[in-house]
Amino acid sequence: MAAKTIYCARAFWWRGGTLKGGEVRQFLNEERAIMGAEALYTGAHGVAVFRVTGYPDVDLWEDPQLIATYGDVPSIAGCTFAAVDAA
């Protein structure tokens, strides 16, 4: 069973005084995730770029590791990035 790393970006918007997260977008590598985040940021209040590593065969994933943020994003403690699907 081989570990897999997934690179992701998630946009956030202010709604009703709180930051609401959009769909998690997956990318092939860190560079593409950052490029994708920059594109998402043109229409969002903030974007978080992160990676998760795990074993998709048994659906066992480590905690997300933050790579970069743009604009307004929730604190790591208050943000649920668990919506990542194994591709």
3-state SS, residue 67: strand
**Rounded Cα gap, residues 43 and 47, in angstroms:** 10
Q: Which helix (H) or strand (E) holds 37?
A: helix 30-41
What is the chain's pLDDT, residue by residue, as a tens digit (87 residues)? 799 999 999 999 999 999 999 999 999 999 999 999 999 999 999 999 999 999 999 999 999 999 999 999 987 644 444 443 333
Cut 0.85: pTM above it: no
Q: For residues 29 and 46, what is the distance between their CA atoms, to the nearest angstrom?
A: 20
